[in-house]
Amino acid sequence: MSALLSSLRGPQLVAHFQRRCGLRPLSAADPAERRCPEADGRAPVSTAGSPRERGKSESNGALNGAAIPQKKYKIENYFLYYLFLFAATLGQEVFYITFLPFCYWNIDPHVARRVINVWAVVMYIGQTSKDVLRWPRPPSPPVIKLEVRVDAEYGMPSTHAMAATAIPFTFLLATMNRYKYPFELGLLFALTICVLVSLSRIYTGMHTVLDVLCGIAITALLVTVSYPFWDAIETFQMKNCFAPVLALTLSFLLSINYPELDHWSTARGDTTNIVSAGGGAAVATWINYQWGLILEPLSAPPYEMPLVTPELLGRMVARFTIGIVIVFFARQAIKSVALAFVCKLAGVSPGDQEARKLLWVEVPYKYITYSCLGVVGLALCPAVHRYLSL
């Protein structure tokens, strides 16, 4: 068993998978014309040995525009390259800030609320586990690394794999008895997303096989254990007068008490974003219920799937476009105000990048920004949609 775990945790399986998928180191003997744009230094690949060293390099500005030695690579299978890069984005902020609101605005708020609750809890547990266990990411060489931003974070467990398990399977469980559709088709879709995103973390060289498997297993356990309580949690969020205070207080305490870092990384800030957005979403749920804005169908489930018509597609596009524009400008405005306010209290300059990494600067301004965005996305945007008869 120990030999198996050692193999799953080692970099050789990752490197072997990369080579099998057509991602290979670029040797000195390879002609220049075989180098892809990503391999000539424009897509940086970190070769630092440990998260601590990578964190120091980034904080010293080595990754902020300055050229550093890169391990170059060549791509022999561009289909898999772009497929896995796309899959990797399904675990990043750009996906969360678009898909989750889209689900709320255009699919079913009932389902979206459950997905957001589970996602926030799962991601917090995954992110904190990384900085408690402090298992390094697979080393390069032999692994080829295609990402830089999160390379300073630790690896165990893979939060991409956790999100890719939590979101589709929560969506499946929340809809299987609510809508009439082939369960097998939904299960196949959830499995496809989970496997694709998980493999992308191995392909990009950011996680070992054990990181990914543990991320999936932890999430499967959390979803299974929490499933019977989803309705009770939502009822509490809607009806209890203390629910908004509890949501905001708990999300702040969890963020500010994030495990102490031995080097700076994006982990604490990203976790604050997620937990705060979840807290803001809970506040929005309470607001919507208290103001009578949560509308449920008059009949009992299961419901027929709506017929997709050009009119329906047009309304969906309009809701999404208007909502994303509101969220984007709200994010820019709130972030600027929150950062200026927090920096003034802390006595530092908002333009000081190092000061923005301090605990009592980074966490409060991100907490304010994303708590407000949760309310904007799930309360203000739907109100605008109703006003515009969308």
**Which residues are marked as active site?**
160, 207
Range of the domain at 371: 91-297+309-387
Question: How sure is the predictor about 26, in pLDDT bands with cuts at 50, 70 and 90?
Answer: confident
270 domain-assigned: yes
Q: State residue 56's pLDDT score.
A: 45
Length of the chain: 390
pLDDT value at residue 304 = 86
Has residue 161 got a pLDDT over 50? yes
In this model, does residue 348 exceed pLDDT 70? Answer: yes
CB crowding 373-388: b at 16 or more within 10 Å, else e: bbbbbbbbbbeebeee
Is pLDDT of 174 > 90? yes
Structure token digits, residue 303: 């419901």
Give the residue with greater pLDDT, 114 vs 292.
114
Is residue 31 predicted with pLDDT exceeding 70? no
The predicted pLDDT at position 57 comes to 43
Instruction: Count the domains in the chain.
Output: 1
Residue 355 has pLDDT above 90, yes or no: no
Least confident of 31-40, 191-200, 368-377: 31-40
How far apart CA 260 and CA 256 sit, in angstroms, is 10
23 falls within a domain: no
Contacts of 60 (CB under 8 A, 6+ apart): none
**Which of the residue ranges 56-70, 116-130, 317-331 would you say has the lowest mean pLDDT?**
56-70
Q: Assess if residue 141 is contained within a domain.
A: yes
Q: Higher confidence at residue 280 or residue 390?
A: 280
Mean pLDDT, the chain, rounded, equals 86
The answer to whether position 57 is within a domain reads: no
pLDDT band at 357 (very low <50, low <70, confident <90, very high): confident
pLDDT of the residue at 29:
58
Q: Is 39 a member of any domain?
A: no
235 lies in some domain: yes
Cα 17 to Cα 71: distance, rounded to the nearest angstrom: 18
Instruction: Say whether pLDDT at 68 is over 70.
Output: no
Task: List pLDDT tens digits, range 205-236.
Answer: 999 999 999 999 999 999 999 999 999 999 99
CA 45, CA 235: separation in Å to the nearest integer? Answer: 47
Q: Between residues 1 and 187, which one has the greater pLDDT?
A: 187
- The number of CA neighbours under 13 Å toward the Cβ of 289 is 19
Tens digits of residue pLDDT in 285-323: 999 999 888 877 777 888 888 888 999 999 999 999 999
pLDDT at position 354, please? 87
Query: Cis before residue 302, ω within 30 degrees of 0?
Result: yes
pLDDT at 30: 59
User: In which residue are the tokens 């080692």 written?
Assistant: 10
Q: What is the pTM of this model?
A: 0.85
Would 356 be classed as within a structural domain? yes
Alpha helices in the chain (DSSP H): 2-9, 11-20, 51-59, 78-89, 93-102, 109-133, 159-175, 183-203, 209-226, 230-239, 243-256, 267-290, 310-346, 359-375, 381-387
Whether residue 323 lies inside any domain: the answer is yes
Identify the burial level of 22 via C-beta atoms within 10 angstroms of its C-beta, where 0-12 means exposed, 13-18 middle and 19 or more buried: middle
